[in-house]
Structure 1
Amino acid sequence: MKKAPLLTSKYVPTYVFVTSLFLLWGIAITMGDLLNRRFQTVLNVSLADSGLVQFSIFGAYFVMGIPAGMFMKRYGYKNGVILGLALYAIGAFMFYPAAEAQSFDFFRLALFILACGLATLETVAHPFSAALGHEDTSEQRINLSQTFNGVGAIIGPVLGSYIILRNVPTGDVTVDLAPVKYLYIAIGLVVTTVAVAFSFIKVPPLTSESSEDEGGSAGPKKGLFQHRHFIWAAIAQFFNVAAQGATWAFFINYAVKYIPDMTDEKAGYYFSFSMVLLLAGRAVGTFLMRFIKPNILLAIFAGANIVMCLIISQTWGWASFIALMMLNFFMSIMFPTIFGLGLRNLGEHKQRASSFIVMGVVGGAVFPPIMGKVADIDVAQSYLTPIICYAVILLFGLVFSKPKN
């Protein structure tokens, strides 16, 4: 039997634009962690309160998950993308008045609106990418798009470190926040340009090109919430993004406190390097899945991160700092693997299920403030708290990821 092509020529222009969305939200998500540090030093925000930056970003995913899915279903993928880009740009432009007001709460509002755009893009872009061709190669297209998300996660910290953290605070809040507002004006202009360009792209009709209906002619026999593996996938995704958000939020604090001669700017570059490890982990993990079942590999990586957290908490200098960076290597496959395992055997329920699993990203809003309370006392010991998250993911991989008829 002839293998289905990854992408046909008629879908190439649309796929290029959709894949660029993965790059854009990769930049924005990782930039939030550098803003976290800037707000601590310029606006005198505590570690616990700075965790509210992640609350604003990831909380938007919980708010927008279902509305974005409903909008996409009613108005189509293309309009869903344009809505997401518009919210992204509006939030970015709001950084200017937030900086002028010197208000942490105003910045959080701007981040929330920007992140509503990211949530919309993420809800739409995954099924959009999958729909641009044969269903048999849909996972390959999503993985290829997610590679550019990893590239964005590398660019974000490099750009943010150079512009946001490189400038030593002057004591004048207006001057100290200037790099932030000008960077986000530039981002807003880029996103607006992408939105306008995408509005002129003609999206070919998206028809099912699968060889057979996965759900069967009779459709799924059970309701969505009767599928235990889907429910546990949403729970596992909550804890996965909770661990991710918390790990990234206090990365720079850990580096500056426990590594000699480390500055905010240098720590930002190491954070960027840890994103290279995330990209490498995704490549290695994808290769290993040819030989190891995805749920087993997920459990192995979760177990590895439990060990990394224990090493980090011991403050063994560079050994612990390397373990901190390696968290990204092992968390690399978690989001897409949990997503994929949760959608197995759901048939016509897949679209709704995607919205709920995306809503699990709210874990990144809930957990960083909690970890921040511990970090205010001891940054190193705060890295013991994500062990709870990785234990849940390990349990999902070993026990609750298998669909039951």
Structure 2
Amino acid sequence: MNKDSINSSNSQKLMLIPLVLIISLFFLWGMANNLNDILISQFKKAFQLTDFQSGLVQSAFYLGYFFFALPASMVLRKYNYKTGIIIGLLLFSLGAFLFYPAAQNATYGFFLFALFVIASGLAFLETAANPYVTILGSPQTAAFRLNLAQAFNPIGCITGILVGQYFIFSGVEHDEATLSQMSSSAIEAYYKSEIHAVETPYLVISTVALLFSILFALVKFPKIQEQKSGKKDSLISSLSHLWKIKHFKLAVFTQFFYMGAQVCIWSFMIRYAKFSINGISDFDAAHYLTFSLIALTVGRFAGTFFMKYIKPNKLLAIYAIINIVLVFIGISSPNLIGVWALVISSFFMSIMYPTIFSLGLNQLGNETKTASSILVMAIVGGAILTAVMGFVSDITSISMAMIVPLVCFVLIALYGLYGYKVKNSIKL
């Protein structure tokens, strides 16, 4: 064995533990993201909210991503990926801990603030972890690697749903007739118990995030050699350069609409199932959300396999067109068929986020960190479009409101067919 092969072997061993830890982050933020889908139904019941008001759970959450993605990029530019990850985990832990005083005060706005803090931490995690994966190898296989890493994200998503389903949902759902027969003190006790149900799960999550931050601080990370331009551009200069790159700019807009589609469908899956299936409870309706995430998980691994034979942009377009059909079924058939159509759509959403992300970062060189933060900012689509869908639902119906994600999939298909093409790039 020659010296080069020994060095290569040592390098791989040095990378193993950091890579395992990075993959764990995909699990953690998946769990946090999909607990929101449970919170929407829980808070709608506990605080007696409209669809628009309950949708503000996602608005508060994804606004945290929007406002903290660029600060995360600045930290990465000045320091390194590891520093950004530790800050993200500490903010994540703090936000989850804030659920305790929010529950004690029984204040919906306090919960929204806690979700904002959680998301600010996750913005740091995603801004660091996604580009970290894409630069660990050939640019030609970046989409493959990111899809492989993201395949572990749905496991966290499923865990989040199960935690919410079994540790937050009480199974007690009083209709208006029952509530009218209860005393005011009994009604108050009922709503308070529903609010307090979120305390323990989030305190556990806070502790886990804190322990992970300590673990990351103790583990030595390898230095990542990135392409340098020979000069240190300011953030404003980087943003100016990036905004001239057409395929990147279109990726940002497309990611905005993808996140809107995903968050809309998942956030209102329980609501849609209850609308479409007579007599189903929150607990039973949550099973369809779990099925959706299982479909996403299978789709991630299947998509990683298909990308060996089909170009990422083509697979993206094919999957988006299929989802246009499935969501149309959801609009036109608000029954069990419509519910299953929306469940299956998650299989075809599986590759979209990482594929759009990697196509957008293609040939951006030393601007990758800043570009990554902007793509993470595009997650704000989940904040804006979920509120839009909630508003449309309030004035029409939850099935008709599915037109919002349908339009999003049309735009994603167009990006996969035309918008991904690299016509110019950052000059190194």
Cα 1:288–1:360 shift into 2, 3 Å: same
In structure 1, the partner of 2:358 is 340
In structure 2, the partner of 1:231 is 249
In structure 2, the partner of 1:121 is 125
The answer to whether the 8 Å contact 2:143/2:355 transfers is no
In structure 1, the partner of 2:61 is 57
Q: CA deviation at 1:238?
A: 0.4
Cα 1:109–1:402 shift into 2, 3 Å: same
**CA–CA distance in 2 between the matches of 1:214 and 1:83?**
25
In structure 2, the partner of 1:70 is 74
**CA–CA distance in 1 between the matches of 2:333 and 2:99?**
36
Matches within 5 A, 1:312-351: 312-351=330-369
In structure 1, the partner of 2:96 is 92
The answer to whether the 8 Å contact 2:148/2:301 transfers is no
**CA–CA distance in 2 between the matches of 1:295 and 1:131?**
19
What code does the residue aligned with 1:73 have? R
The answer to whether the 8 Å contact 1:229/1:342 transfers is yes
2:362 pairs with 1:358: no
Secondary structure of the equivalent of 1:241? helix
**CA–CA distance in 1 between the matches of 2:304 and 2:19?**
21
Q: CA deviation at 1:167?
A: 3.9
In structure 2, the partner of 1:10 is 14
In structure 2, the partner of 1:286 is 304
The answer to whether the 8 Å contact 2:150/2:300 transfers is no
In structure 1, the partner of 2:270 is 252
**CA–CA distance in 2 between the matches of 1:404 and 1:214?**
21
What's the TM-score, normalizing by structure 2?
Answer: 0.87
Q: CA deviation at 1:122?
A: 0.4
Matches within 5 A, 1:117-156: 117-131=121-135, 139-156=143-160
Range that drifts further, 74-83 or 236-245: 74-83
Cα 1:306–1:136 shift into 2, 3 Å: closer
Q: CA deviation at 1:166?
A: 3.5
Secondary structure of the equivalent of 2:79? helix
**CA–CA distance in 2 between the matches of 1:77 and 1:223?**
22
Matches within 5 A, 1:266-285: 266-285=284-303
Range that drifts further, 326-335 or 314-323: 314-323
2:167 pairs with 1:158: no
Q: CA deviation at 1:378?
A: 0.6
Matches within 5 A, 1:150-229: 150-168=154-172, 171=187, 172=189, 173-207=191-225, 223-229=241-247
**CA–CA distance in 2 between the matches of 1:291 and 1:130?**
20
**CA–CA distance in 2 between the matches of 1:83 and 1:316?**
44
**CA–CA distance in 2 between the matches of 1:223 and 1:181?**
45
Alpha-carbon RMSD: 2.3
User: Where in structure 1 are there 5+ consecutive unaligned residues?
Assistant: none
Q: CA deviation at 1:375?
A: 1.4
Q: CA deviation at 1:145?
A: 2.3
**CA–CA distance in 1 between the matches of 2:311 and 2:80?**
34
What code does the residue aligned with 2:291 have? F
**CA–CA distance in 1 between the matches of 2:138 and 2:307?**
21
**CA–CA distance in 1 between the matches of 2:229 and 2:307?**
24
**CA–CA distance in 2 between the matches of 1:350 and 1:203?**
19
The answer to whether the 8 Å contact 2:92/2:206 transfers is yes
The answer to whether the 8 Å contact 1:156/1:272 transfers is no
Query: 22, 25, 35: which is aligned to 1:21?
Result: 25
2:394 pairs with 1:390: no
Cα 1:55–1:316 shift into 2, 3 Å: closer
The answer to whether the 8 Å contact 2:334/2:399 transfers is no
**CA–CA distance in 1 between the matches of 2:206 and 2:413?**
39
**CA–CA distance in 1 between the matches of 2:108 and 2:361?**
38
**CA–CA distance in 1 between the matches of 2:23 and 2:206?**
18
Q: CA deviation at 1:142?
A: 3.0
Q: CA deviation at 1:261?
A: 3.8
What's the TM-score, normalizing by structure 1?
Answer: 0.92
**CA–CA distance in 2 between the matches of 1:335 and 1:325?**
17
In structure 1, the partner of 2:110 is 106
Range that drifts further, 119-128 or 32-41: 119-128
Cα 1:13–1:280 shift into 2, 3 Å: same
User: Where in structure 2 are there 5+ consecutive unaligned residues?
Assistant: 174-185, 231-237
The answer to whether the 8 Å contact 2:144/2:304 transfers is no
**CA–CA distance in 2 between the matches of 1:159 and 1:38?**
13
Q: CA deviation at 1:130?
A: 4.1
Identity %: 39
**CA–CA distance in 2 between the matches of 1:130 and 1:295?**
16
Secondary structure of the equivalent of 1:28? helix
Q: CA deviation at 1:230?
A: 0.6
What code does the residue aligned with 1:112 have? F
**CA–CA distance in 1 between the matches of 2:229 and 2:143?**
17
**CA–CA distance in 1 between the matches of 2:32 and 2:317?**
29
The answer to whether the 8 Å contact 1:225/1:231 transfers is yes
**CA–CA distance in 1 between the matches of 2:214 and 2:377?**
28
Q: Deviations over 1:169-215 (max 9, x none)?
A: 5732322222201111111011111111221112233335xxxx699
Q: CA deviation at 1:291?
A: 2.4
Q: CA deviation at 1:133?
A: 6.5
Cα 1:259–1:344 shift into 2, 3 Å: same
What code does the residue aligned with 1:336 have? P
Matches within 5 A, 1:367-382: 367-376=385-394, 377-382=396-401
